[in-house]
Structures are given as structure tokens and as C-alpha cells.
Amino acid sequence: MTTLNITAVPAMTLTVSDGTQSVGLAVEPAPELTLVMGAGQGPSGPQGIQGNSITNIARTSGTGAAGTTDTYTIYYSDNTTDTFQLYNGQNGNYIYEGVPVVQQTDIGTEPNEIPLNQYLGSMAYQDREQVSVDSLTVPTATPNSVAYFNGSKALTTGSALTFDGASLGIGTSSPLSTLAITQDKAVTLLSTTDNHVIGYNLRIQEGSNNRRAAFFLDDATGEFGLVSTATTGVPNFALRLGGLTPLYASSSGNVGIGTSSPGYKLDVSGSVRIRNGLQNGIVIGADNSATTTTDSTLKVGAISVPHYLNAQVPVGVIAGLSTSTDNVVEIGGNTGSLNSATQIRFYTAATTTTGLGTERLRVDSTGNVLVTSTGGLGYGTGSGGAVTQITSRTAGVTLNKTNGAITLVSAAGSATWQSFTVTNSTVAATDVVKVCQKSGTDLYMIHVTAVAAGSFRITFATTGGTTTEQPVFNFAVIKAVTA
């Protein structure tokens, strides 16, 4: 059976056929004509393949709140499932986390622009579910620029990110190395546990003469690492440990430990301990008025202390020099570059655990050498010697020591003056020789009657005694000069 509805207008003749028979109709003007007629039915075609359809799509995880991600499950008629995720954007738009598939674009009229304002199901998950976005604009191309989304979610190009096929630039369109970063706070690494900055400013270049660089480890106690503090010119560098700066290198080439303003090649604020058990110890010095150590050249070195007045050069403590003939140690200063000492004091202590020693000897500003304690001034063990006279009390003896004892031959004492010569290589003609009686029953009067280079003469007599014995005379040589 065939039913045909016809909306008619002016009167006309209408022929209708179903392929097996036809009829002609005269139609009067009327708003509508319905024609029902019988027609033969053809044979049935083959049955189609049973399809697999989506039976349900449901959110199976999430709340749909802005800024969160929901999980959706697709259920099929064959009892299989698929899942996909949707991020609920802050502005109410969905951002699909799968692979975007552009289905339709609308070519715009602006030069070099392709506005994709109508995505028409522009993102698909395995060709089964599609999510739309607002719009996407491809900006005007910049040579070597890399496109990125800016803070306004707009696709952007420019000098902020460039790649020329070999070098990647961030903040520069002309990278001079494989990776060049020229933004302030160039690289920042954040701890995944406490969000502290653990490294930043690996390198910053601001113009040709303004370079700063830093590497930090940072926690609740402060910054740890290397930092440059210069804003112009050659940079200074400092090692930071929390709130401390234990090591500082200035642009002038000086290094400070415990100070940020080193005035010398090495300037230490605080105590210094050097552990060196080697025999060469600490070596201080170089060629005279130089920093080199040339063979067969005068070498000098000095240790000093700061002057009371900061404007003055330091005070020399110990200086040393080595010449072709002598190795000299000078105490108190003997260099034009240092102030000299006005006093030299010597201290010792009674025990190895005494903190404050006792002054024993002093050399004052006029050159006097003063014993300032109860100790004496004299020769020490190893400097003296002894000799015994043979044959007679006028026989000479030899003793090459600056001090010692002379034992006379055994004989009776006499009030008559007698003399003998002491040969002594330590004696100079300008020296003073002191002699006194050490032992003996009789009392002796003793004089040094002649001093010469390499010898001196002793003259003696008793006060009246005649005892036969071997008296002992002590002597000491005091070095002296005439000018």
C-alpha cells in the first residue's frame, strides 16, 4: 500500500505510478491531497550483521567540581568498557587529556591566522567520545621561534623561546651555546617535599660587563652555595652557609675567610689552625719585592701584626732573609714596608699547662737587655768546659770555650804573684774576661792582665796562705767591641 500526501496549489493533472500501474488525476485547487493506492511488495533482502552499540556513559569517579578531574566509563552492548578523563577547567571549559583530533576548521580572513572557533567535537577518545574547546589561534610566525601558551592561555611565539636547529634559547633569540638562558632567576629547582628553592641563577648574563651567577641549596636554616654579589663589572663570589659567608672572593683577586671585604690575597677573620707535621712547616717569603722564587736570588719573608692606627703599615714581628752567605732571622722588624717593635719581651711558664707566662727578658727601645724576673743571665749547659794545669803554676793551658773551670797544678800557695796564659779561640781582643776563685783553702787574688785575639793571661797570688792544694778558677768571656 502506498500513501502520498501532496500539498496542492492551482488546479493541475497529476499522474502517479508505483512501477506496475499508473493513474491520472485532475486536481482542483485545494490545500492538501492524500492519495492511497495499492502496490506490489518486492522480495526481502538479507539480514544485516548484528551491531555493537554504546549502552551507557557514566561518571564513575569525581565530583565535577571546577579545577578537578573526573573519570568517565563507556559501556558497550557486548559488556566491554572504555574509560576517559575530563579536567574541569576553572572557567567551566573541559580540557581533554587525550590526543586532540581536529575534525573541522574554519579558515579565517586575517593574514596568517587560522581561527578554530567551532571545533564540532574537536577532541576524540578512540573515535568514540569528543570534547570541544573554545578557540585556538595560530599567531604570525617568528623565525626560529617555538610556540607556547602564555599566561592568558593564548598560543604565542617570539624571542622568549627559540630553536635554530642546534641551539635552544630561553629569553634570547640569538643563543650562543647549546642552551642559553638570559632571564633573571634563570633556573629554579624546587624541592618536592617542602617547596624550598634548592638551586637558582645557575647563570645570568646582563650586558657585556654585568655578570652574576649563583647556585644555592636552601632550607629552613638559610642558603647554602655559591653566589655572586656584583651588579656591574667583574663579579665577586661568596660561599654562603646559612646566615654565614665563610669564603669570599673579591673582583680584585683577594680571598676572604670570615670577611666580605678582604684587603689581602688571603684575609682571614678569626683563628687559623694549620696542621703540618712535616719538617718544612709553613714557608713564607719569595724573591725580594716580588712574588716569584728564582734560584740564586735574595729571598725575604715576614710575619706582622696590625698597627694601632689603621692608617699605618703593620708592625713587624719576625722577618727572615736568605743571601748567598747567610740565613738571617730578624725579630722586631727590619724592613721598610713594616713598622718596627719598640720593645721585645720574652715569656716562659713554669709548666706546660700554664696559660699566662712570666716575662723573663726584655729588650727596650734604647737597646738595653734587661732580665725582668728572678732568673739569671749567663751561659747554658754545653757552652762551657774544663782544663787542668800540668807541670807548674806558670804553665799555660788551652780551653776553647766561652766559659769554664781551670784547675791549677798541685803546689804550695804563695803570696808572690804568678801568671799563666789561657789559649782560647773564642776570645777577641775587645772581649772582657772575668775570673774568680771557685775552690781552695787559701784565698787567691786573681786578675786578667792581658786579653788578645785567641788568648788571655791570668795573674794570681794568695793573701798569705801556703797550703799545698789544687785550687780551681772559673772564667767567663763577655763579647765586646770597640764600635
Q: Which of 268, 296, 314 is the last residue of a domain?
A: 268
Q: Which residues contact 209 (CB under 8 A, 6 or more apart)?
A: 232, 233
242-275: per-residue pLDDT in tens? 667 788 888 788 999 988 889 889 999 888 888 8
The CATH number of residue 415's host domain is 2.60.40
Q: Is residue 369 part of a domain?
A: no
- Give mean pLDDT, residues 380-384: 95
Count of CA atoms in the C-beta half-sphere (13 A) of 380: 1
Whether the CB-CB separation of 476 and 434 falls below 8 Å is answered with yes
C-alpha cell at 111: 593574514
When divided into structural domains, the chain yields a total of 6
pLDDT digits (tens, 9 = 90+) for 135-168: 455 566 677 777 777 777 777 776 677 888 888 8
Q: Based on the fold, state whether residues 210 and 293 are members of the same structural domain.
A: no
Residues 293 and 249 in one domain: no
Are 388 and 447 within one domain? yes
| Spatial distance between the Cα atoms of 24 and 37, rounded to a whole number of angstroms | 13
Same domain, 300 and 239: no
Residue 377 is assigned to a structural domain of this protein = no
Return the C-alpha torsion angle 289, 290, 296, 301, nearest 10: 70
Residue 201 confidence (pLDDT) above 60 = no
Same domain for 192 and 216? yes
| Domain stop point among 325, 341, 357 | 341
Domain hosting 111: range is 54-131
Same domain, 331 and 403: no
Same domain? For 75 and 101 the reply is: yes
Q: Is the pLDDT of residue 350 over 80?
A: yes
> Rounded to 5 degrees, what angle do the CA atoms 469, 472, 473 make?
140
More confident residue, 133 or 437: 437
Summarised one tens digit per residue, pLDDT across range 23-70 is 554 545 544 544 444 445 566 666 655 667 888 888 898 888 877 888
Residue 328 lies in a domain: yes
Where are the strands (E) in 260-298, listed by range?
Answer: 266-268, 286-287
Least confident window among 153-162, 282-291, 312-321: 153-162
What whole-number percentage of the chain has pLDDT above 70? Answer: 66
* CA 439 to each of CA 133, 281, 394, 397, 442: distance values in angstroms, whole numbers, following the listed order: 124, 49, 19, 18, 9
Whether 348 is in a domain gets the answer no
Q: What is the C-alpha separation between 11 and 334, in angstroms, rounded? A: 140
Residues 198, 166: one domain?
A: no
Looking from the CA of 233 toward its CB, the CA atoms found within 13 Å total 4
Q: Is residue 99 in some structural domain?
A: yes
pLDDT of residue 76: 86
Would 356 be classed as within a structural domain?
Answer: no
DSSP class of residue 126? T
Confidence (pTM)? 0.54
Residue 281 lies in a domain: no
* pLDDT one-digit tens code per residue, 86-100: 777 655 444 444 333
Residues 156 and 117 in one domain: no
Are residue 157 and residue 232 in the same domain, yes or no? no
The total of other beta-carbon atoms located within 10 Å of residue 129's CB is 18
Give the C-alpha separation, 194 to 196, whole Å: 6
Q: Are residues 195 and 242 in the same domain?
A: yes
| Model pLDDT, residue 223 | 62
Band (pLDDT 50/70/90 cuts) for residue 195 is low
Residue 303 within a domain:
yes
Strand partners, 73: 58, 83
Which amino acid type is present at position 111? P
Whether residue 451 is found in the same domain as residue 424: yes
| Alpha carbon distance 186, 192 (integer Å) | 19
Listed residues 139, 157, 181: the one ending a domain: 181
Residue 234's pLDDT is 64
- What are the grid coordinates assigned to 27, written together? 486536481
